[in-house]
Amino acid sequence: MTDLSNDKAVQAVKNTKIQKKDEFFVVDSPIDEPVTETHAADMIPEKDVTQEMLTGSSANANAWLMYGGGYEQQRHTSADTITPENVDGLELEYLFQTGTGSGELEGSPVVVPGDPPVMYQTNGPNHVKALNARTGDVLWSYTYANPNNIRPCCGLNNRGVAVYQDKVYMTTLDANLVALDRYTGEQQWSYNSGDPAKGYSNTEAPVVYDGKVIMGSAGGEFGVRGYVDAVDAESGEQVWRRWTVPEDQWIDDSWQNGAATVWMTPSIDPQSDTIYAPTGNPGPDVWAGVRPGLNPYSDGTLAINSSDGSVEWHYNESPHDWWDYDSPSPPIIFDEEVRGSERRLVMSAGKVGWLFTMDAENGQLMERSEAFGQMLNTFDLPPAELEDSPWIMPSADGGAEWNPVSYDPNSRTAFVKAMNYPSKFQWDREEYEEGRLYLGGGFTVAPEMDDADYPSEDDWNRKLGVMSAVDPISGEVKWRDWYDEYSMGGSMTTASGLVFTGNGSGEFIAYDVESGERLWQFNLGASVNASPVSWYDPGTEKQYVAVQAGGGGLRSHKTGDAVAVFSMEA
């Protein structure tokens, strides 16, 4: 493994001191300019990533070219070397220590095929490496210079990069988008999408389509106004912006602080050139009295024309939200027969606790699933005093959080990771103040409170997380596996009938997609708050599975610093 003790980019992260002060983070960074360190960059095959490669990524077993594996965000690999019959022989190929010590590892690597294949891996705050995916050797590393006024609400993560042509794209905690030379790690340009002093930030993996980088922003807890930006992939110039709080559909001036931010990666349908953006909570989070009406575009899926940013349709899973019920998990595009005819569909799992299946063309609801976790007093309105609140499930954390759902088209099953504990809520008539938290109240979660007041075990089984297998057409929950720890990470399916995921205990697990039986597991020693990826390497004749283990963000018990890569020979 590469010696990182003198890597300036790694040391810049390691020596960055970030302290939370009131509602924002004070950054004491040893750098005021981005830093790139080169190790063996000449090993990177100089073959650009084309639009054709990105469009075919879902079907390419030898690559994982974007956050969800492909534009459809199914998180499904066509590689089938690892099977239910042989997965018990899956071995650790290598364990790569990032060297940053940040404990902010919620991202999914991107793997570009070649000899060798190259992995682009990120961790917070805003650090990216290019690795030899076969060995874990570092080819180059890069650290972004964050200013001292960032205001990320819920952690200093970065969830991944996008690749296109000769560039790598990463969003930053101060709401910028940076383009790096994919072969050297040198920064090429930076695009600013929002003012961090107002509360704008970004942790999502962007996605590139038709020469444009598509990105949203975070900051809903600060009362910003959400948007989706399309940025020219070559020049870094804005092509269009779609505000996700429509001024003409919100009452009075409530749109100005309406949030509905797109803080996770959208899916894109190349068949219709449509972006499906997952939208967050309206602002403020709890006190809905200041924003009357249905608060359109929030808490759901927003379909956007990729050419000009015009809105095609939207579906709201929790209209006039009082409970912070974002729908951040990336929507999944898939084809299936519904009521006797083949349909193009989009599914979304939100914090509200159900899986919604919609017609991709017009947003018509086709099915709302059974609850994938437990429900209790759902949609009861919060009182003004916390002590008067009932226990409510899903909690303010969900339901499904940001962690991506995966889909197995062979068994017609979606795999949803969810939180499973109650909250108490209370509203407050607080005034908006720029750059300060704008929650309109507050909430607690049961695991952080005295258990003398907990709901009965009939109402809440005391499990903190769950993995659920859901049929998106019938809405049936096929099976569940309950966890004793928080469960933030996403999942990934294989063509051979496996689904991989991790949990807060550090367990990395392979399930049989049909039965839910645990066929294999490996304890990584740190919370798996990330989502796995997989690829097949013709050069080694092995299928690889990679996942980051280190925790990060909310509800992380065990922090760490590792990227684990497992393999099996064909």
Please give, one letter per residue, the 3-state secondary structure of 507-551.
EEEEEECCCCCEEEEEECCCCCCCCCEEEEECCCCEEEEEEEECC
The answer to whether 69 and 548 are in contact (CB under 8 A) is no
Instruction: Give 389's contacts (C-beta < 8 A, 6+ positions apart).
Output: 382, 383, 424, 425, 426
Share of the chain above pLDDT 90, in %: 89
Is 2 within a domain?
A: no
Number of CB atoms found within 10 A of residue 145's CB: 18
Cβ 375 vs Cβ 459: under 8 Å: no
Whether 525 maps to a domain, the answer reads yes
Mean pLDDT lowest for which of 29-38, 124-133, 354-363, 445-454?
445-454
Select from 119, 127, 81 the least CA-distant residue to 102. 127
pLDDT-derived band at 449, boundaries 50, 70, 90: confident
518-523 vs 24-28, strand pairing mode? unpaired
**Domains contained in the chain, number:** 1
CATH code: domain of residue 35: 2.140.10.10
Phi, psi of 57 (to 5 degrees): -60, -40
Q: Is the peptide bond before 330 cis (omega within 30 degrees of 0)?
A: no
> Beta 118-123 vs 518-523: how paired, if at all?
unpaired
- Determine, yes or no, domain membership for 294: yes
Confidence label for 447 from pLDDT (cuts 50, 70 and 90): confident
Per-residue pLDDT, 26: 72
Host H or E run for residue 9: helix 8-14
pTM attached to this predicted model: 0.98
Structure confidence at residue 339 (pLDDT): 87
- Mean pLDDT for the chain overall: 96
List of E strands, 206-251: 207-209, 212-215, 227-232, 238-243
196, amino acid identity: P
Side-chain-facing half-sphere of 106: CA atoms under 13 Å: 26
Q: How far is CA 36 from CA 382, 461, 502, 551, in A?
A: 49, 49, 31, 25
Q: What is the largest CA-CA distance in the chain?
A: 64
User: How many C-beta neighbours within 10 Å does residue 240 have?
Assistant: 16
Q: Which residues touch 381 (CB under 8 Å, ≥6 apart)?
A: 322
pLDDT tens-digit series, residues 132-159: 999 999 999 999 998 888 888 888 889 9
Tokens of 544: 């690889």
- The single-letter code of the amino acid at 264 is M
* Residues 531, 535: Cα–Cα separation, whole Å: 14
Q: Is the pLDDT of residue 102 over 90?
A: no
In a domain, residue 3? The reply is: no
* Band (170; pLDDT cuts 50, 70, 90): very high
Give the separation between CA 492 and CA 68, rounded to whole angstroms. Answer: 9
Identify which has the larger pLDDT, 226 or 448.
226
12's enclosing H/E stretch is helix 8-14
In a domain, 276, yes or no: yes
Q: How far apart are CA 293 and CA 428, in angstroms?
A: 18
Strand order in the sheet with 507-512: 76-77, 491-494, 498-502, 507-512, 518-523
Helix (H, G, I), strand (E, B) or coil at 432: coil
Q: pLDDT digit string (tens) for 208-254?
A: 999 999 999 999 999 999 999 999 999 999 999 999 999 999 999 99
Task: Report CA torsion sign: 410, 412, 418, 421.
Answer: negative
Handedness of CA 382, 386, 391, 392 (dihedral sign): positive
226 in any annotated domain: yes
Region 98-121: mean pLDDT is: 94
Measured CA to CA, the distance from residue 295 to residue 414 in angstroms comes to: 28
Residues of the domain holding 521: 8-569
In this structure, is residue 409 part of a structural domain? yes
Beta bridge partners of 240: 230
Distance CA 449, CA 453 (A): 8
Burial of residue 185 (CB within 10 Å: 0-12, 13-18, 19+) is buried
Query: DSSP alpha helices (H): ranges in 293-373?
Result: none
Residue 495 in any domain: the answer is: yes
Share of the chain above pLDDT 70, in %: 98
- 125, HSE (Cβ side, Cα atoms, 13 Å): 32
Cβ partners under 8 Å of residue 261, min gap 6: 216, 217, 218, 219, 220, 224, 226, 227, 244, 279, 280
Question: Which helix (DSSP H) or strand (DSSP E) does residue 139 occupy?
Answer: strand 138-143
